[in-house]
Amino acid sequence: MWNKLKAFLKWAVANDLKQPEEKVVEPEPVTERVRTRTVKGRFIADDKSTPNIDEAWTKRKVNIKRIKKRKK
């Protein structure tokens, strides 16, 4: 039995046998649509001359807040 195990280990090392790697799937960042503002804080209107681009709305990243457990 030990001879078979030794033979298998030699074969595995010779063939560089590795375990398959797991693919890590990163979650997509959470975004929300918000109105675009100027430097003064006023809303920007949509430009009608560019129908395929929406200047009035932009996407921003939303921070996910974690809830901390309270100690009793």
Alpha-carbon dihedral sign for residues 32, 35, 38, 44? positive
Residue whose structure tokens are 């809303």: 43
Q: State which residues form the domain around 42.
A: 30-63
Residue 1 domain flag: no
Considering only CA atoms, give the Rg of the chain: 28
Is the full-model pTM beyond 0.75?
A: no
Whether 44 is covered by a domain: the verdict is yes
Q: How many CB atoms lie within 10 A of CB 56?
A: 13
Indicate whether 70 pLDDT > 70: no
Q: Nearest 5 degrees, angle CA 35-CA 30-CA 22?
A: 155
Number of domains within the chain: 1
pLDDT of 6 reads: 85
Does 9 fall in a domain?
no
pLDDT confidence band for 72 (50 / 70 / 90): low
Chain segment 10-64, per-residue pLDDT in tens: 887 777 666 666 777 777 778 889 999 999 999 999 888 988 888 899 998 877 7
